[in-house]
Structure 1
Amino acid sequence: MRPTGGPAPHRIRSTALSVALLLAVAAASTLLGAGTAHAAGYRYWSFWEGNGKNWEYATQGPSLVRPDDGTVQGFRFAVSQDSKDAAQPRRAPDFGAICAGTPAEDGRKRVALVIDPGTAADAPGGETPPALRTACAQVGPDASSAEALASVAKPLRYSSDALLCAISGYPAAGCGDEVSGDGGEKSPAASSPASSDAGEGDSGDGGDGGPSAGLLVGIGAVLLLGIAAVFRARRRR
């Protein structure tokens, strides 16, 4: 005869099952949070092309693009995860306004440039961004965007994989550095936002802050444990 005054066995099993499932969900949530909050993005110079009215993120780096006469191009230094959330230059792509004082010359082309070092919030620790400026580069007809930029904004600094690291010496150090979610610095990423060429904005595998393969395996293991607890409880009934 079952003693009176205590909980029924099926209620005990039901409570234990609920606790196991709650623990599994909580553990999975914790793992997901740990995997997505570790990185806020990368600090780098992004490369833009003007379409007459607005800015469009360049699909190639400045060393590959050979702009036509009358082109407007922009460079913006900021922290962003990828091309989808990259900050645009804070000046309209207006060729007429930028190159108004530079007359056309035979055998030369004019490329209007907007060079925007960004805000203090995006600057590396201990550095102050210089003022935004524009320039009208007058270069040979076959010159690339990188050559046009070099003609008006030296010194430029590049990484070994052709990532544009600094314009006019800013920033003084670092190149495509990963910035953690709490604002702290991390070591330069092996796959930087523009590792394919200077100015390309994709951050590579894992650069968008998504969960890694190891994290997903851990979440799967936690959920499997919870499911196993369900089956054990059912078999005991």
Structure 2
Amino acid sequence: MEETLNLEDILDVIKSSALMIAIMTLLFGCIAAFGTLFFITPQYESNTQILVSQSQQSEVIDNQDIQASLQLVNTYRDIIKSPTVLDDVIQNLNLEESTEAVSNKINVTNQDQSQVLTVTVTDESAQRAEDIANEIGTVFQEKVTEVMSVDNVSVLATADVGENPAPVSPQPVINIAIGLILGLLVGLGIAFLKAFLDKRIQSEEDVEKYLDLPVIGTVAKFK
């Protein structure tokens, strides 16, 4: 006889294993909270904005100058993360990190058709993230003149993390929520696996359901 699982069966499985499901949910939530608080190092972000404009020697701004600046944005993004800039940043700030390690902390973005580059630095120290971001802006402004022979870059906004910066990661609420959901899914999985593997007949309803036979009598259990 082919077994079918209806809503009533699902509710019975959940009801019979409710305690185990609750324990698994809380256990995974606690693991997520413990791991977030004690094993994940907080990370801070700091941003500086760099404006790519027309040449400072030009007195008239036209559409051709703007389009030329926009075309240079991708090139400038690569230059910012290149050893040409980062080696000087590391040396000026006396950082004990490799160029590749510092480059991995940097994310350079810009909105579509925008001449503003946003340099975001992520670091375990909020102050160090601010220092690196500001130093990148300073060094890049100097280096781009040498590398590209242009003077169309200026720092629009310096990085400032403030007096009491908040870490951008980890996010305890999200991590704990993920832990709770994962624990719930694991608990449900174990409950349904247990019910699927348990082939014992334990009640009159099971006899009628699985054997398709009528129950004509029962024998009481004596102690």
TM above 0.5, yes or no, is no
Who wins on radius of gyration, i.e. which is larger?
A: 2
Give the alignment's TM-score, normalised by structure 2. Answer: 0.29
Give the alignment's TM-score, normalised by structure 1. Answer: 0.28
Q: Which has the higher helix share?
A: 2
Higher relative contact order (CA 8 A, sep 6+): 2
